[in-house]
Structure 1
Amino acid sequence: MDQLTDPAAVAAALKATGYLPDEGLATAAFLALALHRPLFLEGEAGVGKTALAHALAEVTGRPLYRLQCYEGLEASSALYDWDFGRQLLHLRAAEAAGTATDTAELEAGLYDRRFLLARPLLQALEDSPAVLLIDEVDRADDEFEAFLLEVLSDFTISIPELGTVRAETPPLVLLTSNRTREVHDALKRRCLYHWLEHPDFDREVAILRRRLPEVTETLARQVASATARLRELDLLKPPGVAEAMDWASALHALGARELDPDTAARTLGAVLKYREDGERVRAAGLGVLFGAG
């Protein structure tokens, strides 16, 4: 951590893990670390937002806690809950032992820390310093956004039965969004912001070669080129880096050393995840993947 003194050092450390950031992303990650500010990452699915959190956890040596957001997510699922099953067993054990005479003492014992189930937000505050990934925050409800804003303002959580938990060192927080809806300005203002683009051709080839060293240089370049052409089409879900990696892995598993129309046709399901997108590409002709048609 002490060696991450500037964006170049952060970029070099991330590259050592296999994550290849551009200059803008390395700078944003450095500032999030240096200023103890949450980093809000937006971009298409599959461009590396979630992978950045894993890479930063590795280079900083911090534990990673991930909160996957979804519609209807409640604070108890993100903060903590009480283990009612163990509490009930404790109560029955006290009754069986004949020690359940002092009601106040028994109730206090039921809300001991050992019966608390810590969820990602509480875990990240207690296990300090940590990396906290709040993934796909755009899928959560407005009420949960307001709750997050309160937690991220001072990194403290109040547990009525136990008191206040405060992080000794603020966690490195990364929030991701695929922009299925607009996140409120109040939450964005609390964060540093970075939009992740799809990588350019050379960087995508480098990513494929770094993450999949078994894939030939020729195949990596052809997959990167074909994936870039797919992104230019009017698809429901343009493929990201993750899909390009899936495609290259599928081709390698089939023994392919280069991409041709036949193997492309048989493996489109590795890179396109909607039936309509596959039909659109086949209707346009597989030649579009090779700069023809």
Structure 2
Amino acid sequence: MTHSLPVSIDETEQLLDSQNYVADRALATVLFLALKMGRPLFLEGEAGVGKTEIAKVLAAALDRPLIRLQCYEGLDVSSALYEWNYAAQMIEIRMREASGDISRDAMRSEIFSERFLIRRPILQALEGEPGRAPVLLIDELDRTDEAFEAFLLEILSDNQVTIPELGTIRAAEPPIVVITTNRTREIHDALKRRCLYHWVDYPASDRELDIVRRKAPRANAELSAELVAFVQRLRGIDLFKAPGVAETIDWANALTELNAVALDPAHVSDTLGVLLKYQDDIQRMERGESREILTEVKRELAKAS
């Protein structure tokens, strides 16, 4: 059964919390406004901070289909919107020729009908049923080029697309649109103006600890506190790629599988590949910096207790 949209910021926070997504007030506010105003939500931030998860959580909490368009270099309209099933069209043409039915107008009308249309994510989202419009996730838009951004403007402005052979297809109810970018390049202002914007930052330590408790419940309290404090310190130094929340959760689960009840130098050294994804960063930690960070973390937590 489809759930109604939240009617307040508090209810939006509760909706996210029901799916174990720990959001701050600012995120809950912009999400509430995006839903209330029917505007796309543009989420920017480092990889692994939970941008994509917001769309998944929304779809699950509202009981709506999630339609994901994963962006990549070279993504074009046919891959994002629609394309014709050329193989099936050719078979239809050959069958008509074999039967003697070669009326050009009738053949054109038939082969460019909806039964030969392959719907890609954006068209699927626009054709959602009223009352249960899907969540459309346009993920990592910064991987595409400016031409694809320009194509999106009609979608975001008018919730419609034009297919030359069929005409204009307009959404009976606009989809809930979530756009994410890792900021590997700047997105044009024309597209951003059509959205509500939010920068998704790394969480503060108390919020990240809450996330770990929810997503890695088998990790005990001491281990969870130590690994979160360790990751928080890593983000403060000059790494090629600081670990995101996703890596923190993976690390907690990995250490639990190793039956760790607290961080020690051996466990840290053996599992750095779970937390860090670049060899230069791993080598830097292995030269002794990880031991120094671990010592500081344990000292600070001991004082706090």
Q: TM-score, normalised by structure 2?
A: 0.92
| Counterpart among 49, 52, 66 of residue 50 in structure 1 | 52
Tell me the amino acid that sits aligned with residue 36 of structure 1. G
| Counterpart among 77, 80, 87 of residue 78 in structure 1 | 80
Query: What's the secondary structure of 2:48's corresponding residue?
Result: coil
Which residue number corresponds to residue 91 of structure 2? 89
Percent of aligned pairs with the same residue? 49
Does the aligned pair in 2 maintain the 1:38–1:173 contact within 8 Å?
yes
Distance 2:282 2:145 in 1: 32
Matched, 1:21 2:33: no
Q: Hey, which bits of structure 1, 4+ residues long, moved more than 6 A? A: none
> What does 1:1-293 align with in structure 2 at a 5 Å threshold?
1-2=3-4, 4-96=6-98, 98-128=99-129, 129-292=133-296
Q: CA deviation at 1:229?
A: 1.0
Tell me the amino acid that sits aligned with residue 120 of structure 1. P
Q: In structure 1, list runs of 5 or more residues that go unmatched.
A: none
- Which string of whole-angstrom CA distances, capped at 9 and with x for unpartnered residues, describes residues 234-285 of structure 1? 1111001001011111111112122111001000000100001101222242
Does the aligned pair in 2 maintain the 1:3–1:9 contact within 8 Å?
no
Query: What's the secondary structure of 1:248's corresponding residue?
Result: helix
Q: CA deviation at 1:206?
A: 0.8
Q: CA deviation at 1:86?
A: 1.5
Which residue number corresponds to residue 302 of structure 2? none
Does the aligned pair in 1 maintain the 2:50–2:246 contact within 8 Å?
yes
- Which string of whole-angstrom CA distances, capped at 9 and with x for unpartnered residues, describes residues 16-40 of structure 1? 1111111010111111100000111
Does the aligned pair in 2 maintain the 1:145–1:187 contact within 8 Å?
yes
Query: What's the secondary structure of 2:161's corresponding residue?
Result: strand
Q: CA deviation at 1:136?
A: 0.8
Tell me the amino acid that sits aligned with residue 56 of structure 1. L
Does the aligned pair in 2 maintain the 1:82–1:116 contact within 8 Å?
yes
Query: What do you get for the CA RMSD once the two structures are aligned?
Result: 1.4
Query: What's the secondary structure of 1:66's corresponding residue?
Result: strand
Q: CA deviation at 1:58?
A: 1.0
Alpha carbons of structure 1 residues 185 and 225: separation in structure 2 relative to 1, 3 Å = same
- Which string of whole-angstrom CA distances, capped at 9 and with x for unpartnered residues, describes residues 181-221 of structure 1? 11111111111000111111111111111112122122211
Q: CA deviation at 1:64?
A: 0.8
Distance 2:295 2:39 in 1: 44
- Which string of whole-angstrom CA distances, capped at 9 and with x for unpartnered residues, describes residues 134-185 of structure 1? 1111111011111111221101011111121111111111111111111111
Distance 1:240 1:208 in 2: 12
Distance 1:289 1:205 in 2: 18
Tell me the amino acid that sits aligned with residue 111 of structure 2. L
Does the aligned pair in 2 maintain the 1:229–1:288 contact within 8 Å?
no
Q: In structure 2, list runs of 5 or more residues that go unmatched.
A: 298-305
